[in-house]
Amino acid sequence: MAQTTMSIRIDDELKRQFDTLCGEFGMNVSTAFTIFAKTVVRQKEIPFRISVADDLFFTHPVNRKRVLDAIANLEAGRGIIHELVEVGNDE
């Protein structure tokens, strides 16, 4: 099977930590990325959850502005009151 070279940019400290950890696993970085790539291709998904922590989501400037604007609208009487509709089993 033909091989190719792949180049990525990564923070120096993160690379150092990753190199060390891969060594502890008994492999090099190239082997670790090959395992990752094969898993992504086989499963057709990233093999771990990727998310934004809730506190980071709401502290992002764009999201924070939207929340604060919504609060200001409600306080100024420009909100819409909705009834709570419970959805459940009618049995």
Enumerate the domain spans of the chain. Answer: 12-43, 51-79
Distances (CA, A) of 39 to 11, 44, 45, 46: 24, 8, 8, 8
Helix (H) or strand (E) run with residue 16 in it: helix 12-24
Residue 55 has pLDDT above 70, yes or no: no
Mean pLDDT throughout 83-91? 70
Average pLDDT of the chain?
A: 84
Q: Find out whether 65 and 73 touch, Cβ atoms under 8 Å.
A: no
Residue 9 has pLDDT above 80, yes or no: yes
54: closest CA among 65, 66, 64? 64
**69 vs 78: CA distance, rounded Å:** 11
Strand locations in 30-79, DSSP E?
none
> pLDDT-based confidence at 56, cuts 50/70/90?
low
Residue 11 has pLDDT above 60, yes or no: yes
**32 vs 38: CA distance, rounded Å:** 10
Residue 65 has pLDDT above 90, yes or no: no
> pLDDT-based confidence at 58, cuts 50/70/90?
low
Tokens of 51: 């998310």
Q: What pTM did the predictor assign? A: 0.53
Mean pLDDT throughout 24-29? 94
